[in-house]
């Protein structure tokens, strides 16, 4: 049966495959001139940031399910973890986007091997897909950085384009971007409307994380927006120098993804004592809370609430108070709400949404649990004085109810 896939003619390209293979340190894939295989190995003693490569090897007992419950609690995911990253001719997706460089990385003992498949022309895509399928067939877990939204869907489209089955079907996939946002992104402080505050989100790009988390700084790195133009220049001129920096960029992405993932799993395994900053404590606390480990979550929120990060502190107090209330420890929850409200009073400007939420929670606590109507009215008055358009009606309603209760109680006493 005739193959329906169109394979482009590359005779008009200015690429000398032999010269490119020699310059880039690779060799043709299975004798296919349009795809090179390039291997590099990071030995165990080689450093990447603050630690050596061997220290980033993944422990099978690491609590990966804490970050992604879909992975499962067993250790089968750790048999062969493959890190994956693409470089493409564009970010828009669609049939016109070609993944011209596919990088795979995995640990061999304590060393880290990076195998890259580089297309010297579009005709090499099918052999590249077949080679990737063999690697993925042997993998127990695929790890990417933002691959759930881009890399994996694009590869599935390319397999479909070539009338093949996607090698990622049935393969467990862990996207490191989302745990990174929970642990190190300020956007984690905005995960609910009633937790909105003015703190700016910190960058969770891979290059930012490798600087902040593992202490690795790239020198002379190729910016991502230049990569497609460099590849097109290579196709027109055959100059391997135009693409060597792209290969290095891809390699660093793979090693850094492994390092950041290893550090995140180490934090989850060691617990709050290993966290260096309040945002890590907050992220780890939310993960434990989602997993049902209330005690570890409480410890994380408590430590974040007494840290020096003024942006994180109110969110930590709100999380702590909510968790304590859910556990039935109402007096401790009220104390946390009071601390949050006191901090808000020290700040100039309008009352923050979190402070309003604290005043409301304290009014509820004193009205329904402590049975101190005078104290409840004090918080309700404070809440009404600083209410916004959305909460003004409910604040006035609460204050009116409390006034009626207090009047009724006074008439009974008289």
Rounded-to-integer distance, Cα 17 and Cα 36, Å: 8
Q: Per-residue pLDDT tens for 338-347?
A: 999 998 888 7
Sorted by sequence, the CB contacts under 8 Å of residue 251 that are 6+ apart come out as: 40, 103, 105, 114, 116
- The percent of residues above 90 in pLDDT, for the chain, comes to 67
Q: What is the CATH number of the domain that holds 315?
A: 1.25.40.10
Phi-psi region of 238 (alpha: psi -120 to 50; beta: other; left: phi over 0): left
- Residue 306, pLDDT score: 92
pLDDT at 200 over 80: no
Instruction: Give the residue-averaged pLDDT of 185-200.
Output: 45
Same domain, 190 and 300: no
- Residue 243, pLDDT score: 94
Confidence of residue 394 (pLDDT cuts 50, 70, 90): confident
Confidence of residue 95 (pLDDT cuts 50, 70, 90): low
* Average model confidence (pLDDT) across the chain: 88
Q: Does residue 247 form part of some domain?
A: yes
> Of 11-25, 145-159, 175-189, which gets the smallest average pLDDT?
11-25
Same domain, 281 and 246: no
Q: Per-residue pLDDT tens for 316-340?
A: 999 999 999 999 999 999 999 999 9
Which of 207, 236, 270 is the C-terminal boundary of a domain? Answer: 270
Which of 249, 270, 291 is the C-terminal boundary of a domain? Answer: 270
Same domain, 288 and 328: yes
Distances (CA, A) of 317 to 341, 369, 383: 10, 20, 18
Q: What is the CATH number of the domain that holds 170?
A: 3.30.420.10
Q: What is the pTM of this model?
A: 0.86
SS3 350: coil
- Residue 2, pLDDT score: 45
Q: Per-residue pLDDT tens for 334-392?
A: 999 999 999 888 877 788 889 999 999 999 999 999 999 999 999 999 888 888 877 78
């Amino acid at each position: 049966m005739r193959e329906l896939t169109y394979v482009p003619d590359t005779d008009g390209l200015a690429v000398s495959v032999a010269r490119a293979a020699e310059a880039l340190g690779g060799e043709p894939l299975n004798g296919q001139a349009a795809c090179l295989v390039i291997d590099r190995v990071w030995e165990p003693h080689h450093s990447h940031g603050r630690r050596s490569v061997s220290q980033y090897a993944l422990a099978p007992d690491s609590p990966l399910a804490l970050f992604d419950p879909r992975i499962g609690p067993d250790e089968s995911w750790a048999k062969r973890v493959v890190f994956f990253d693409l470089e493409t001719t564009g970010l828009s997706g669609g049939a016109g986007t070609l993944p011209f460089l596919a990088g795979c990385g995995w640990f061999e003992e304590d060393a880290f091997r990076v195998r890259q498949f580089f297309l010297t022309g579009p005709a090499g895509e099918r052999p590249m897909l077949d080679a990737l399928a063999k690697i993925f067939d042997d993998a127990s877990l695929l790890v990417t950085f933002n691959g759930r939204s881009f890399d994996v869907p694009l590869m599935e489209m390319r397999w479909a384009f070539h009338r093949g089955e996607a090698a990622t079907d049935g393969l467990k996939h862990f996207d490191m971007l989302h745990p990174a946002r929970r642990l190190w992104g300020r956007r984690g402080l905005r995960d609910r409307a009633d937790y909105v505050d003015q703190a700016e989100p910190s960058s969770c790009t891979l290059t930012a994380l490798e600087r902040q988390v593992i202490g690795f700084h790239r020198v002379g790195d190729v910016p991502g927006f230049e990569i497609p133009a460099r590849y097109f220049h290579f196709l027109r001129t055959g100059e391997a120098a135009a693409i060597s920096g792209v290969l290095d960029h891809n390699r660093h992405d793979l090693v850094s993804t492994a390092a950041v993932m290893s550090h995140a799993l180490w934090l989850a395994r060691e617990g709050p004592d290993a966290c260096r900053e309040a945002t890590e404590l907050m992220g780890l606390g939310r993960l434990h809370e989602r997993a049902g480990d209330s005690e570890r979550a409480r410890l994380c929120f408590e430590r974040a609430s007494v840290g020096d990060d003024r942006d994180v502190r109110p969110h930590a107090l709100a999380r702590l108070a909510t968790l304590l209330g859910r556990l039935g420890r109402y007096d401790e929850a009220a104390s946390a709400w009071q601390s949050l409200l006191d901090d808000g009073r020290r700040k100039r400007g309008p009352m923050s949404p979190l402070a309003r939420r604290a005043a409301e929670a304290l009014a509820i606590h004193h009205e329904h649990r402590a049975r101190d109507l005078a104290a409840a009215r004090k918080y309700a008055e404070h809440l009404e004085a600083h209410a916004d358009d959305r909460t003004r009606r409910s604040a006035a309603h609460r204050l009116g109810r409390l006034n009626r209760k207090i009047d009724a109680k006074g008439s009974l006493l008289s």
